[in-house]
A = this chain, B = another copy of it.
Amino acid sequence: MRVGVIGGGQLARMMVPAAIALGVEIRVLGEGPESSARLAMTATGEPGDLDAVRAFARAVDVVTFDHEHVPQPVLRALVEEGVAVRPGPDALRHAQDKLVLRRRLDDMGLPQPAWAEVADADGLGAFLERAGGRAVVKTPTGGYDGHGVRVVDDPHGADDWLAERPLLAEELVPFRRELAQLVARRPAGDVAVWPLVETVQGGGVCREVFAPAPHLAAPTARQAREIAHRIATELGVTGVLAVELFETEDGRVLVNELAMRPHNSGHWTIDGAVTSQFEQHLRAVLDLPLGDVAARAPWTAMVNLLGGPADGDLDALVPAAMADQPAVKLHLYGKAPRPGRKIGHATAVGDDLDDLVFAARSAVTLLHGDPA
């Protein structure tokens, strides 16, 4: 069983331990020698380089992804050659293009924020009027971690982006909090649904995850499960799917975004669930039976390490974090610290969520080092 992963980021990196346990041979097409997943890297190439991707794909049984940046023509060329691409291009385009997703969710009748495709300032002005004077505009493709997202209250507030392409405009949802529903689906059709989690964002970036989402109403959990199950099934997703959701003040959930790969909101599963999202992704793309998605303890808290010490010497801070929090599980991505960059996370698993959040935050704080 040989899996090829396009992209050498931390998601590919964290698939490696799962591959080792399952006896799966994992190969990574990475960006270069600094790639987070460099240990399993067997080739270097850009995701848009058809020749590089094709040569890589020929040596594995199934191709999957660390990110959504492989262009559709490359994906379709692989499929035409008979390569097993999971998720496939027809599913993946919903994670690549936010306008494609919004249209599809409307067709499916699933709850989402009010939205419009806007081609110019007039279009954005009209949407702003409908939406109460403020809106979120997003580039349909290429955005991540807050990039390609802007809040505007002026019809000309996105003229720079509109010069290049139409945009997605969305209402600013007055949400209570953000949730994420992680699921996995294999080609045979089985779907596994992990417990719903709460995600805490800051500056467009995931900061913390609490699993399961605290104070969760049963109907909210049920809606989230049903939405994610329908998206996975009706879009024909294979592998892990993360559905980011807004929970509204009145307990409804609205679909925010999708990721068709292991996702930051699922990192808690490495330590907190019987089957991690990385193991499950490998099982799913190999069309193997899915593993148990139960939580291993009442609560799990996951805190991202964003940035790190100014001098770049993360190793020097590890002993203090380990000494302070011997039960916290550290996950360091082998990436150079830069302000705001995701370079690791810390997870605590147990019975008291407040204690666990404190423990994981403490470890992460120590890994940041003293502010200068």
Contact = CB atoms under 8 A, between A and B. Distances in A.
B323 A289 contact: yes
A292 B21 contact: no
A221 interface: no
A322 B288 contact: yes
Given A16-B16, A349-B296, A21 B329 contact: yes
Contacts of A288: 318-319, 322
Nearest to A343: B23
A255 interface: no
A329 B17 CA distance: 13
A206 to B, nearest CB: 19
B292 A333 contact: no
Contact of A17 (B1, B20, B323): B20
Task: Please state the number of chain copies in the assembly.
Answer: 2
Contacts of A294: 327
A283 interface: yes
Nearest to A290: B326
Nearest to A348: B274
A10 B318 CA distance: 27
Contacts of A20: 13-14, 16-17, 39
A52 interface: no
A334 interface: yes
A288 B322 CA distance: 8
Nearest 6 Cβ contacts at the A-B interface: A23-B332, A17-B17, A292-B327, A289-B323, A289-B322, A292-B326
Interface of A: 1, 13-14, 16-17, 20-23, 25-26, 39-40, 274-275, 283, 288-292, 294, 296-297, 314-315, 318-319, 322-323, 326-327, 329-334, 344, 349
